Structure 1
Amino acid sequence: MGHQTYRVEGMTCASCVRRVEKALASVPGVAEVQVNLATEEARVLAEGVPSELLEKAVADRGYRLVNPSLEVADVSAELRLGLLRVVAAWVLTLPLMLPMLGVGFQVPGLLQAILSGVVVFGPGGVFFANALKQLRHRETTMDTLVALGAGVSWFYGFAELVRDAPHPPFETAAALVAFLLVGKHLEARARHRATDALETLLALAPPVAVKLDAKGQESLVLTGMLQPGDRVKVTPGSAIPVDGTVVGGQAEVAEALLTGEPMPAPKAPGAPVLAGAVVHGGALVVEVAGVGQATWLAKLAAQVAEAQGSRARIQDLADRVSAVFVPAILGLAAVTLAFWWIHAGSFAQAWRPAVTVLVIACPCALGLATPVAVAAALGTAARQGLLVRQASALERLAAVTDVVLDKTGTLTEGRPEVIDILTLETGLSSEVLRLAAALERDSEHPIARGILGAAKSLELPRVDGFRAHPGGGVEGVIQGRRLRLGHPGWLGFAAAAAPEGATVVGLADDRALQGMLVLADRVRPESARVLEVFRRRGITLHLLSGDRPEAAERVGRALGITEVRGGCGPAEKRARIQELQAEGRVVAFVGDGVNDAPALAQADAGIALPGLAATQVAAPLNLLREGLEPLLGAHRLALRTRRVVVQNLAWAFGYNLVLVPLAAFNMLDRFGGPMLAGAAMGLSSLTVVLNALRLRRA
């Protein structure tokens, strides 16, 4: 048996996922099916099943199955079409809403019918198409509610226009479609971002490489053309294009974004290296072991895709209710029509309460309850330093019971900083720092950047005869005096014991050790306060780090975190989150490295710190500002958003529960019947929108 991945077109909600899975699972020979709404893909495990059979099974349910190797989707074209629908709908709807905006002008009735009709059956035609498609299979979705409400509202408005009524409710139908098209477009953009995450992960490895032939001649080739056993040269400051083994040269390789280790690791012949890691201090010759899909990065991307597909999705409440709500309203309208026709003996009197039931039960407020609140929350989140890439993650953030944090770059600054200077011969710490920074002035090494950062206010002297010694240090002549900077062992001097988790760099001349600089990955100043606020909110904290266990324990003790695990790779981090979720916990994960991507995707609410694009697109929640302070505002906003959504849904359902029975018993006809229904529907929508706008206040 083998897995085959297909693209599925036409899915709009979580109920569509279940229908496609059932359709594929019903094909003989299919052993397993997994449908991912985020990536719009179906992964099928089958033996000897022709693609045509799978395509037919899905087509019979109203969807389209496409082999991506034969037909490439134009995602950007789909999004542009969705945006065009939104713009067209609002351009035509706004003139109908002028009286509601306080403008003393009303569009003539016939023009209202034309403008509203174009919106409802033009840009809004997608709702009607989906509703009819599901109707053929005797099923209903949220699209059924929208099509029913917009269609009946427009046709009722047209009937009122023919009857020469003063205020046919055409703006109701148009506004309903316009608002919901906005939500549909935002949802489509969020779904397609999952693919961007995987592509960005793979882009960390450079697309071209410097290949060496048997004579050592260099040539520039596409990375994908390399084969295991080929040799490539990687210069200082460049990313390694493949997984492989060092066969020549010495250098230090920064793998912090891959493994979580903040300090660069020395690499010599025989050492393994990963695609995407950056070389510092020297050139390396690497023998290729894995290219493309065989690299560690590609396997990491596959883990992200698997985590996204396995995540339990919270189905929208409105979609769940619509399965019984729409048939119930249709049945109630039919019963109302029959009852009043028999009771009054006239269809002319019977149709009004029946239409009132349909119009007043329109799902306008129901459909707007969540997307309008989320839209208001998104703008506030951005102002507070949080980019929400997936609205459902903001909803899940409000329910978190556990927050799991990475160490390097999350709780700590993520870069070596000078924390102490030990002076020996010179007597002045500033002189040791000044001379060391001068030697590191042109280096791209992370330790060099830490030293230069501490010396940014000092005037640096000129350095002559500069030489770099990969894996050891640097040397140069300053004012006629030869100085060396590097590991004390390379300098040939005994070093003082370094603090736990710190690195010591020595400065020496030809006769003695002049001083030592102690560098460490410093804990962020706000980390302790942020974590204490989370504790007061009843949230359990965990620390999972790819760094050494002793370094992770040191940070955990300093911040009062009880569960601390060091040496965790991407799979271990994701597995621990799965364990917590199996215990019924709702988990948020906060990280910043590529090794955090599977955990960010697995968590109920993945939160990425600023810096690496691949990590940010893999996470549904991105912090836009440095530091952990935006985390507190994000959690507080998530709680407020959940409260407003619950209020909106309670209003929408309560409105229907109260007014639908009144309409069925014809108790609203004396107040205008369908006319009142249209006004009430507009009022219910306005109430939902105004309540949601409270979220704009930071």
Structure 2
Amino acid sequence: MDRTFKVEGMTCASCLRRVEKALASVDGVAEVKVNLATEEARVVFRDRPADDAALARALEARGYRMAAEDAPADTSAEREALVRVAAAWACTLPLMAGMFHLFHLPWQVQAALAAGSAFGAGSGFFRRAAAQALRLETSMDTLIALGASVTWLFAIREALQGSPHAPFESAAALAAFLLTGKYLEAKARHRATGSLEALVRLAPVLAVRIGPGGDEEVPTRFVQPGDRLRVRPGTACPVDGTVLAGRAEVEEALLTGEPLPVPKGPGDGVIAGAMVHGGALEIEAASTGQDTWLSRLARQVAQAQGSRAPAQDLADRVSAVFVPAVLALSLLTLAAWWWHTGHLAEAWRPAVTLLVIACPCALGLATPVASAAALGTAARNGLLVRDASAMEALARATDLVLDKTGTLTQGRPTLADVAGDPDTLRLAAALERPSEHPVARGVREAAEGLPVPEVEDFRALPGLGVEGRVEGRWLRLGSPAFLGVPFPAAPAGVRIGLAEGDRLLGTLTLTDALREDAAEAVADLRRQGLRLHLFSGDRAEAAQALGASLGIPDARGGCAPADKAAGVQALQAQGAVVAFVGDGVNDAPALAQADAGISLPGLEAAQAAAPLNLLREGLVPLLQARRLALRTRAVIRQNLGWAFGYNLVLVPLAAFNLLDRLGGPMLAGAAMGLSSLTVVLNALRLRRV
């Protein structure tokens, strides 16, 4: 027996582990799995479910909150976070203006403003740090709370002793910068948490059920297995089922990757979300609700997201050792100087200097500020980043897997060749004028600008072709079986013939044309040293032919959604860091499984599993995303190098009291501010990428 809960307040991989430990400590809990991407905790019980209140209390003791799985989206938490960011900056900016002598505030006002930012807006840091301290745990919250409180107390002491400048702005800016970084990270992640629902929304919310009194429109959620449903042309199948009567062509490109509609007749299966063309179908519902193909796919995506190891912030990993080490070193400094001088007042100064100068402001800012700058640049370049760790994975990628239909190709039939009578295209476009079939759209687009006549007595035969009277001639357009006239099939795509009676007038070949920038983009990616792969749901021959034309040796066709995800997993098992680029629902499991999933514009549901969403057409934005990822990684490394170097150099100087002559704790506060400013300015360079 198991239950799923929403957990509020998780911000990093350390939070994930604490939530798991908190829930696992409740009596009756056998197993806990926490998904940071969806902010959900799945709790498996031994015999009977544990009391919800006990689970909630366990989470609250660690600083987190529990909500029911079906609870409405809580926007108040996001509003509260934004208010805290605004309040922190409202308190900080006047103090920073005072640093540059724009005006001077009484120290009592400065102390109140700094307290408002650090202890008011940043109270969450202190609350979580206190809860962790009770369990002898540390994190970045511990470092932030310690640095802000010590800096504020030191500034109070300096002010009371008549110092012309008490570093209140350091305590205030620490909270303001970090709250801003946390808010931007959380906002990017929250945009993705509800997007899996887009998969299920591909199926219509209403279905036409055939009852004793005729057709009736009912909500799809009320449909039961065994119900008879009617699916009209131009609408999507509401559930998975089997065709009982009628013939039509069903477009499944977004679901399976097959670029052309598939003929369906009695006995054939259809899946929810597939679009019906050319005729109505009567189907018997087989799977409904959470049992449909789309719903199972959504769960598979969520599972892949949860199984992927989330990138753990380096600052969080270091903090587990860094905080105890700084505390121990500070106490050792206090004891050593007290023993050396015999005066506690003199020993206090180097100890406080060490604590202030070791404050992790730059360390905490190194990644989130660079990520925030990269997010803004990415948005201007048409890239929506839902998970900053995916940008790092894109920079580290060794292998890039590309989908075919809609990714390397345009995802729709395009006329490639016309043979036979010069009027073949014009007459074929006339026959296809009333049809909504994708092949018909391709023919009509190719005939734009030609004098296309009207068609009379039009009739469509799903899976075969169309016929009608054009300029007084009875013409038929379709497959060799429909025309009764043989002609060779196309090696790739589809070939249809135009006939009058038993005479073949001409043929039209339609293919899923290559994107204009595909060849250049693939060549550029190959020059970057990436190993390229092609996984397609289309026929193996079509995938291999395209792979050969682009120089992609590993081209696989006939891949179901699970096959693509398994292929990505197999590459990862070999040690590869895999980026996957796709645009269809059939790509969703692979997008989630990949270290960096990248969706192309189009279907919202395809973005559900992808932490990186390209918003502009073409593959050039993919190249820009890769360059931005590489530059972001370089800036983060520079920031972390500066933050660590700052501590490695100045902490020993503070411990040996070598900074006292230069200002002691005051210099420490200034150095801490300069360190943070350096990190921020370096990160802002990403705005020019």
Please give the range of the TM-score, normalised by the shorter of the 2 chains: over 0.9
Structure 1 vs Structure 2: percent identity of aligned residues? 62
* Paired residue type of 2:201: A
Query: Where do 1:520-531 residues align within 5 Å?
Result: 520-531=511-522
Corresponding residue for residue 314 of structure 1: 311
Contact 2:208 2:231 in 1 (8 A): yes
Q: Residue 241 of structure 1: CA displacement?
A: 0.7
Q: Residue 127 of structure 1: CA displacement?
A: 0.8
Which of 439, 445, 448 aligns to 1:453? It is 445
Which of 222, 225, 233 aligns to 1:225? It is 222
Q: Residue 156 of structure 1: CA displacement?
A: 1.9
* Paired residue type of 2:262: A
1:548 maps onto 2:539 in alignment: yes
Q: Residue 637 of structure 1: CA displacement?
A: 1.5
SS of aligned partner of 1:122 = helix
SS of aligned partner of 1:498 = coil
Corresponding residue for residue 645 of structure 2: 654
Corresponding residue for residue 463 of structure 2: 471
Please give the alpha-carbon distance, in whole angstroms, between the structure 2 residues aligned to 1:3 and 1:583: 34
Corresponding residue for residue 80 of structure 1: 79
1:157 maps onto 2:155 in alignment: yes
Range with bigger deviation, 634-643 or 48-57: 48-57
Q: Residue 568 of structure 1: CA displacement?
A: 1.1
Which of 284, 291, 294 aligns to 1:294? It is 291
Q: Residue 638 of structure 1: CA displacement?
A: 1.1
Residues 74-109 of structure 1 show CA distances to partners (whole Å, capped at 9, x for unaligned) of 332222221222222223322222256x67333443
Contact 1:417 1:520 in 2 (8 A): yes
Q: Residue 255 of structure 1: CA displacement?
A: 0.2
Contact 2:22 2:59 in 1 (8 A): no
SS of aligned partner of 2:51 = helix
Please give the alpha-carbon distance, in whole angstroms, between the structure 1 residues aligned to 2:429 and 2:675: 66
Contact 2:258 2:537 in 1 (8 A): yes
Residues 138-174 of structure 1 show CA distances to partners (whole Å, capped at 9, x for unaligned) of 1111111111112222222222222332222122222
Which of 427, 430, 435 aligns to 1:438? It is 430
Corresponding residue for residue 55 of structure 2: 55
Q: Residue 336 of structure 1: CA displacement?
A: 1.8
* Paired residue type of 1:563: D
Corresponding residue for residue 401 of structure 2: 404
Which of 183, 198, 204 aligns to 1:185? It is 183
Corresponding residue for residue 599 of structure 2: 608
Contact 2:242 2:267 in 1 (8 A): yes
Contact 2:28 2:49 in 1 (8 A): no
Q: Residue 116 of structure 1: CA displacement?
A: 1.9
Contact 1:35 1:42 in 2 (8 A): yes
Q: Residue 61 of structure 1: CA displacement?
A: 5.5
SS of aligned partner of 1:146 = helix
Q: Residue 73 of structure 1: CA displacement?
A: 5.4
Please give the alpha-carbon distance, in whole angstroms, between the structure 1 residues aligned to 2:575 and 2:411: 32
Which of 637, 647, 657 aligns to 2:628? It is 637
Corresponding residue for residue 624 of structure 1: 615
Q: Residue 31 of structure 1: CA displacement?
A: 4.5
Q: Residue 28 of structure 1: CA displacement?
A: 6.5
Q: Residue 290 of structure 1: CA displacement?
A: 0.8
Please give the alpha-carbon distance, in whole angstroms, between the structure 2 residues aligned to 1:59 and 1:499: 62
* Paired residue type of 1:209: A
What is the Cα-based RMSD across aligned positions, in Å? Answer: 2.1
SS of aligned partner of 1:75 = coil
Moved over 6 A (4+): none
Contact 2:433 2:455 in 1 (8 A): no
Which of 176, 179, 192 aligns to 2:174? It is 176
Which of 209, 212, 217 aligns to 1:211? It is 209
Please give the alpha-carbon distance, in whole angstroms, between the structure 1 residues aligned to 2:615 and 2:59: 43
* Paired residue type of 1:481: R
Corresponding residue for residue 264 of structure 1: 261
* Paired residue type of 1:650: G
Please give the alpha-carbon distance, in whole angstroms, between the structure 2 residues aligned to 1:438 and 1:168: 83
Q: Residue 354 of structure 1: CA displacement?
A: 1.5
Corresponding residue for residue 135 of structure 1: 133
Gap runs ≥5 in structure 1: none
- Residue 547 to residue 348, structure 1, CA distance change in 2 (3 Å): same
- With normalisation by structure 1, the TM-score equals 0.94
* Paired residue type of 2:620: E
- With normalisation by structure 2, the TM-score equals 0.95
1:281 maps onto 2:278 in alignment: yes
Corresponding residue for residue 68 of structure 1: 68
Range with bigger deviation, 252-261 or 659-668: 659-668
Q: Residue 651 of structure 1: CA displacement?
A: 0.5
Please give the alpha-carbon distance, in whole angstroms, between the structure 2 residues aligned to 1:582 and 1:25: 30
Which of 364, 370, 375 aligns to 2:367? It is 370
Corresponding residue for residue 482 of structure 1: 474
Contact 1:20 1:61 in 2 (8 A): no
Q: Residue 29 of structure 1: CA displacement?
A: 5.8
Please give the alpha-carbon distance, in whole angstroms, between the structure 1 residues aligned to 2:66 and 2:124: 20
Corresponding residue for residue 303 of structure 1: 300
Please give the alpha-carbon distance, in whole angstroms, between the structure 2 residues aligned to 1:300 and 1:116: 50
* Paired residue type of 2:411: G
Range with bigger deviation, 333-342 or 261-270: 333-342
Corresponding residue for residue 40 of structure 1: 39
Q: Residue 256 of structure 1: CA displacement?
A: 0.4
Contact 2:255 2:586 in 1 (8 A): yes
1:692 maps onto 2:683 in alignment: yes
Q: How many residues align?
A: 688
Contact 2:568 2:590 in 1 (8 A): yes
1:253 maps onto 2:215 in alignment: no
Residues 536-587 of structure 1 show CA distances to partners (whole Å, capped at 9, x for unaligned) of 2222111111111111111111112122221111111111111111111111
* Paired residue type of 2:373: A
SS of aligned partner of 1:85 = helix
Contact 2:10 2:64 in 1 (8 A): no
Corresponding residue for residue 493 of structure 1: 485
Which of 581, 585, 591 aligns to 1:594? It is 585
- Residue 67 to residue 348, structure 1, CA distance change in 2 (3 Å): closer
* Paired residue type of 1:50: P
Corresponding residue for residue 236 of structure 1: 233
Please give the alpha-carbon distance, in whole angstroms, between the structure 2 residues aligned to 1:581 and 1:449: 41
Corresponding residue for residue 581 of structure 1: 572
Query: Where do 1:644-683 residues align within 5 Å?
Result: 644-683=635-674
Contact 2:485 2:502 in 1 (8 A): no
